Amino acid sequence: MSAIIEVDHLSKQYANGPRALDDVSLNIDEGEIVALLGPNGAGKTTLISIICGLVVPTGGTVRVGGHDIRTDWRAARKLIGLVPQEITLEPFETVMNTVRFTRGLYGAAPDDAYLEKVLRSLSLWEKRDAQTRELSGGMKRRVLIAKALSHNPKVLFLDEPTAGVDVALRREMWQVVDQLRRDGVTIILTTHYLEEAEEMADRIGVINHGTLLLMKPKAELMGEFGKKHLTIHLYEPLERCPPELTARGLTLSADGLRLGYDYDTRSDRTGIGSLLAELSGLGIRVRDVSTKQSSLEEVFMSLVSDEEKEGAA
């Protein structure tokens, strides 16, 4: 597989602003789906905006389909579609005219047969004559995607496609992305939701303070960070944690009423059954068991604290 996007030592220092990107390098292969995760202000939008030619970098290079985005921007831009975070549609325009107009803006020749294919793939064909103001929130988001696909790009950027939308709409967006994946579109999306990255991406990149902390295949990342915390609530308080349980890595809360255990969501599934059996064997009565998946926040905390420790070393 060949890289359709090549980002090499990219930096961005905003005038009178922060260093939003610091020496970021990454390659994205054709047909891949990559999720960029990061807290607010991490530099995700800056990275996407530079690749799309909307923000000028301070250093480094970006090539899209082999075309340098600065010296050969026209050819690079043709290969890219961007779905912005905000819904920006002309309310009185029809769906079909909206996508026709956007295609024209890219300088592409009219091609209603191609636009029909795009609208059908996004389940918007029946709504082609509806004004955009008449559409539901989910449909409006799909029109934004149709606009971004209107000039037949090879790469699609989705900037926080499900920010602030409900669970049903989020799932609908995931299905749309899955369909695009089957059509062979390369997709780069930014998100705050680990769950969303897990659902859609082949590879996940984590950005913090303008630095790409890692870029790994999803399975590898989830294996490393997909930890759960198990809390076992007891009927009677324990004075101390029995050595058998300490050996298993369990800890006891100060009030003696809760045992805590961090486990790996992938490999430790069977271990919990045997743990509960062991508690019963020790005569410890369990009132309740609760689990908490490590959140994106915690993933970041662990990454950032590792980064700081390395910096201090």
Ligand X SMILES: Nc1ncnc2c1ncn2[C@@H]1O[C@H](COP(=O)(O)OP(=O)(O)OP(=O)(O)O)[C@@H](O)[C@H]1O
- Among 7, 10, 20, 24, contact with ligand X (rule: CB under 6 A): 20
Q: Does 73 bind ligand X (CB under 6 A)?
A: no
Among 7, 34, 45, 186, binds ligand X (CB under 6 A): 45
Residue with tokens 């009423």: 257
CB of 82 to ligand X, least distance (A): 13
Given 1, 2, 17, 309, the residue binding ligand X (CB under 6 A):
17
- Smaller CB separation from ligand X, 45 or 98: 45
Among the listed residues 34, 37, 44, 149, the single contact to ligand X using CB under 6 A = 44
Q: Binding of ligand X at residue 42 (CB under 6 A)?
A: yes
Select 13 or 294, whichever has its Cβ closest to ligand X: 13
Q: With respect to ligand X, which residue has the nearer C-beta, 18 or 31?
A: 18
Q: Which is nearer to ligand X, 45 or 150 (CB)?
A: 45
Residue with Cβ nearer ligand X (111 or 195): 195
CB of 40 to ligand X, least distance (A): 3
Interface with ligand X by CB under 6 A: which residues? Answer: 14, 17-18, 20, 38, 40-46
